[in-house]
Amino acid sequence: MLTLAPPAWYLALSAVLFAIGAMGVLIRRNLIVMFMAIELMLNAVNLAFVALARGMGSMDGQVIVFFVMAVAAAEAAVGLAIMLQLYRSRATINADEVTTLRW
């Protein structure tokens, strides 16, 4: 039915969301917020997949979205567990205070 808009517009929205997510990763200090920005980027990509799937009349894009969700769930579980541990040992989740992993 495609009542709202042609896929290209969805893709444009997707690009904007992705850019916002990418900026979010860079400009924030808080690791959890950075993490959320990453989720935002993933979702922007999901939108592109769904829009292109609709445009091509194929289900494959939606299948990929399914996988992205599974990966995002796994990532969130492990990532948040890491942040809990980080907070327990360092009492901070600011990116610029966790820089021992170098050299």
Partner 1 sequence: MIAPLFVLLALLTVAASLVVVLHRNPVYSALGLVTTLFLLAVLFVGLDAHLVAALQIIVYAGAIVVLFLFVIMLLNLQVEPRTLAPAPLVVTGAVLGGALGVATLGVLGRDPLPLAAVVGPGYGGTEPLAERLFTAYIVPFELTSVLLLVAIIGAVVLGKKRLS
Partner 2 sequence: MVTPETTTLLRWIVVAPALGALFALVAGRRAPRLVAWVGPGVLAGALGLSIAAVLALARQGEGGALLDPLYPWIEAGGFRADATLRLDALSAVMLLVVTGVGFLIHVYAVGYMAEDPDIARFFCYLNLFVAAMLILVLADNLLLLFVGWEGVGLCSYLLIGFWYTDMANAAAGKKAFLVNRIGDAGFILGLFVLAWFAGTLDVQGIAAQAETLRTAQLGGWPVPVVAGLLLLVGATGKSAQIPLYVWLPDAMAGPTPVSALIHAATMVTAGVYMIARLHPLYALAPEVLTVVAIVGTVTALLAALIGTAQCDIKRVLAYSTVSQLGFMFLALGTGMPGAAIFHVVTHAFFKGLLFLGAGSVIHGLGGEQDMRRMGGLRRHMPITFWTMLVGTLAIAGVPPLSGFFSKDEILWGAFTGPNPQPLLGVLGYVVAFLTAFYMGRLLLLTFFGAPRAAHAVAHDSGHGHGHDQGTPHESPAVMTVPLILLALASAAGGALPVPAIVETVTGPHGAHAHAPFWALVLATGVALAGLGLAWLCYVARPELPERIARGLGGLYTLVAEKFRVDELYDRLVVRPVFGAAERLATADRALVDGAVNGAGALVAESAQLGRRLQTGNVQHYALGVLAGALALVLWVAR
Return the residues of window 10-29 that contact partner 2 according to CB under 8 A: 22, 25-26
**70, interface contact from partner 2, partner 1, none, CB < 5-8 Å by kind:** partner 1
Q: Which of 57, 88, 91, 99 binds partner 2 (CB under 8 A)?
A: 99
**90, interface contact from partner 1, partner 2, none, CB < 5-8 Å by kind:** none
Distance CA 6, CA 23 (A): 27
Q: How far is CA 103 from CA 36, 92, 96, 99, 100, in A?
A: 28, 22, 16, 10, 9
Binding characters for partner 1, 21-50, by CB under 8 A (x = yes):
xxxxxxxxxx-xx-xxx-xx--x--xx--x
Closest Cα to residue 95, out of 24, 42, 4? 24
